[in-house]
Structure 1
């Protein structure tokens, strides 16, 4: 758990103070080096591409290519063993895996200020096409990544397939699910938060966190990201397809809200101190993920919410459910307060306007905490979690009313955070089972957080009994694959039986179907636990 500001170790205050002093540096964009000559005479102390490669946020004419140079990735200064000087890094994009047909190449300058990360925004590619990419520096060549551009908006598509995942606590389990995800034939991966966990601890399976204590400073977060990104299964999933990412709470601190630290252990922390920590966390997040410069943090601010389109089949709206929300309640009787915000007025208006104007067949919300109502208690009284949309019931009602007023078709929500899987109808009035259904939510389980899990647990039994809009539940680990078609979409819940050791096989625990023009779960095809491979 986090320490209060009165007991926060001195080294963290010094490090956070350095973030404040360098606020202008944090807001500066990395220098472009498109006209530079790469310096292959530089000598590095080891292989530079230990953290792998990735791509993300695809558009019809391009994609973001990412890597971070780190010959000594766990170096105590957080800079990965790189020299202080800027280094020019070449990148290449090809139409074939052997790079016989290179179609784009360029150079980016990797600087110490941004941990020698590279975010190459490539343009001039053909829409809806697979490409391969790689980087070069100091005579070294990176692993080869595979990516794909988006189809042009409005282009008629027969199908589109993406996976979504969240919650990968290194200490809780192996990232075996990513080994299997890397073998799926995916157009896209959506990661909905908790890419790292900020807490300290060693766990019980031999995957202790580095640094050992909770992360506070930029150096702390950089080392933690390096540890996670050294995982070969995670690297394989990044190489296999472009990702769209958004942070949740543990990417900064558990259950943070707006400018407030988590209410359970640090209710009196100075918001100014927390903003310094968020600045460090946001910078490390950007440094380690394939985000565009439009998402580059400026101190404690980062543009997370954004919209991507894929032909005429998919509009994906990625939310930020942390930065603009009000602090969590301690009295659930106040959850219908009309003044409480989850998205903030600007993001809420942006979302409803975009959904109202959408011409896509399927409208998908990339959402961090579940939107469905979830009564946690058998019988009376009802109890709800205050960190999810249940703690912001009036804000949820505004959103759902807005969807109904705009006649938004085929509305789907994909969600992480809860370490369990649920498929549920989204009701205009959850107190009335006969109320209008305005969409479907697919809550997805964790990659590893929470340990092995099980097919059904006590909370799952309660949820299914007390919440008739829930149609499926499972609390094993894994990821979800969404297959979008013209007349139907299907979400496959892919699970592994254990994560406390490597080598688990993958199964499809259930497939949940939604019909075009008919909101809500049409039917669920379930398999017995651990059936199939």
Structure 2
């Protein structure tokens, strides 16, 4: 595998691309009933930046969205109701002297003038630059990288993973640092936006100032987030592999059921309409392939990507097919309860059993290990992550053991804290076999500044001997896969409630090939 682009080259690219220039906040326009069918405005069209995603050996998907007035309250981004041709080009150099592919996509009002160009015919395991043009204007440049060829023998592979970026409670400084990381791609495990009406106390109040229900409101919230220069920088620097979690629609939603809170459960038919709006806005604003294009309230989220002979990455959907969260802890072990649904569960086990890559990695929105939250006698487990679906988790673990799946690793988010854990065939028996390793990644901003240790972390470490590391600060994770070991570096920022925080490595957690579980932790 050729050496990845150096950090110095990546910083040079970020300067040349001018990622910060497209992050200026645009004043909101007056409400509009419908967009006119007039000419395309001459105002800057590419205010929301560019992105790439889902790298394959022969290409990637390229994204942008035309929005000369991105905070227009009608959610249309200031665009007229007309189809606009958008050209794209891919080059082997950052100054676009060696263009290797180009094409045209047609952006329509029906999909918020978003563009999803699926590029083919590129070289495997290769770095490219890309940009768009429309109405005489050029977008910022983005950098991307294709996956290695199937079965190609790799020395190493580097990637990052992250989740939970609540705009109203923190600055996206960690994403600016992530843009400079020397990685091949980023896995984002959900909560790209937050659906609530929070104003916060740092001058980043959510727009619109209501909880999101309509397509118009979801679109406006995405525009607000995507105007952030640090978020744009991370998109411009790396291809992203994304999957939604709960806040991309509503906190703790499950299947056709809304959040189990103090309000009455929404009628499932009404909730599906809300899910359709959330899915559409998610698709319109992220670099997803047409295979994930939503059809009303349905969207194909779970999928598999393979990187040479080193990595099989299975991206899960732990929201759409799950049963509602239990109210009685004993029901965690109800064998009828699902978190993945029968189809996805069968797909996952079949794929893991047939995998030939050295490392088999799951991208799970919620954590999998048991986390008893009661000090001393007695037990209590969270009902939203996998412990609330203990029987479904056991089916997965039994399936791993039956298929002799080795080098099994789970990446997870949602909990706003970091942890590393041994995944036990039976968490009730710490002497039972270890079937894999889990790296729980903290949030980018959610939970505000956090601390190295908190009360939850103290209880987790005391009551759950399979946990080997914990931290409750903000940041992201960088993984290096090698032939003999995998290690995950937990990157943290000391604060997010003001901009400009430095980045440091809090700990590095190692896993040895052929030996499941955490080998050691380096602080």
With the shorter chain as reference, the TM-score category is over 0.9
Distance in 2 (alpha carbons) for counterparts of 1:230 and 1:249: 22
Instruction: Tell me the equivalent position of 1:420.
Output: 417
State the Cα RMSD in Å: 1.0
Instruction: Tell me the equivalent position of 2:67.
Output: 70
**CA separation of 1:267/1:373 partners in 2, compared to 1, >3 Å: closer, same or farther?**
farther
Aligned positions, number: 487
Q: CA deviation at 1:387?
A: 0.5
Name the SS for the 1:276 alignment partner: helix
| Residues 182-197 of structure 1: pairs in structure 2 closer than 5 A | 182-197=179-194
Q: Does 1:137 align with 2:134?
A: yes
| Residues 319-468 of structure 1: pairs in structure 2 closer than 5 A | 319-468=316-465
Q: Does 1:128 align with 2:125?
A: yes
Q: CA deviation at 1:304?
A: 0.2
Distance in 2 (alpha carbons) for counterparts of 1:132 and 1:356: 36
Q: CA deviation at 1:381?
A: 1.2
Instruction: Tell me the equivalent position of 2:58.
Output: 61
Instruction: Tell me the equivalent position of 2:20.
Output: none
Which of 501, 505, 512 is the equivalent residue of 2:502?
505
After TM superposition, what 4+ stretches of structure 1 lie above 4 angstroms from structure 2? none
**CA separation of 1:261/1:43 partners in 2, compared to 1, >3 Å: closer, same or farther?**
closer
Instruction: Tell me the equivalent position of 1:482.
Output: 479
Distance in 2 (alpha carbons) for counterparts of 1:431 and 1:76: 53
Q: CA deviation at 1:265?
A: 3.1
Q: Does 1:519 align with 2:519?
A: no
Distance in 2 (alpha carbons) for counterparts of 1:365 and 1:271: 29
Q: CA deviation at 1:153?
A: 1.2
Distance in 2 (alpha carbons) for counterparts of 1:473 and 1:424: 9
Q: CA deviation at 1:266?
A: 3.5
Q: CA deviation at 1:43?
A: 4.3
Name the SS for the 2:333 alignment partner: coil
Distance in 1 (alpha carbons) for counterparts of 2:473 and 2:52: 28
Q: Is the 8 A contact 1:421 1:444 kept in 2?
A: yes
Q: Does 1:219 align with 2:216?
A: yes
Distance in 2 (alpha carbons) for counterparts of 1:242 and 1:60: 13
Q: Which runs of 5+ in 2 are unaligned?
A: 1-32
Q: CA deviation at 1:42?
A: 5.3
Distance in 1 (alpha carbons) for counterparts of 2:169 and 2:513: 39
Q: Does 1:147 align with 2:137?
A: no
Which of 299, 302, 307 is the equivalent residue of 2:304?
307
Q: Is the 8 A contact 1:75 1:223 kept in 2?
A: yes
Name the SS for the 1:206 alignment partner: coil
Q: Is the 8 A contact 1:42 1:138 kept in 2?
A: no
Name the SS for the 1:335 alignment partner: helix
Q: Does 1:49 align with 2:46?
A: yes
Question: How big is each residue's C-alpha offset from its partner over 1:378-426, in whole Å with a ceiling of 9 and x where there is no partner?
Answer: 0121001100111100000000000011011100000010000000000
Question: How big is each residue's C-alpha offset from its partner over 1:324-363, in whole Å with a ceiling of 9 and x where there is no partner?
Answer: 0001011111110000001000000000000000000000
Q: CA deviation at 1:510?
A: 0.1
Question: How big is each residue's C-alpha offset from its partner over 1:19-55, in whole Å with a ceiling of 9 and x where there is no partner?
Answer: xxxxxxxxxxxxxxxxxxxxxx954141000000000
TM-score by length of 2: 0.92
Instruction: Tell me the equivalent position of 1:295.
Output: 292
Distance in 1 (alpha carbons) for counterparts of 2:214 and 2:151: 45
Distance in 2 (alpha carbons) for counterparts of 1:521 and 1:429: 17
Q: Is the 8 A contact 2:39 2:80 kept in 1?
A: no
Distance in 1 (alpha carbons) for counterparts of 2:39 and 2:75: 20
Distance in 1 (alpha carbons) for counterparts of 2:265 and 2:462: 38
| Residues 234-313 of structure 1: pairs in structure 2 closer than 5 A | 234-313=231-310
Distance in 1 (alpha carbons) for counterparts of 2:328 and 2:138: 56
Distance in 2 (alpha carbons) for counterparts of 1:119 and 1:382: 47
Q: CA deviation at 1:281?
A: 0.1
| Residues 62-211 of structure 1: pairs in structure 2 closer than 5 A | 62-211=59-208
Question: How big is each residue's C-alpha offset from its partner over 1:59-85, in whole Å with a ceiling of 9 and x where there is no partner?
Answer: 110100000000000001101001111
Q: Which runs of 5+ in 1 are unaligned?
A: 1-17, 19-40, 527-533
Which of 222, 225, 229 is the equivalent residue of 1:228?
225
Instruction: Tell me the equivalent position of 2:16.
Output: none
Q: CA deviation at 1:139?
A: 1.0
Name the SS for the 2:159 alignment partner: strand
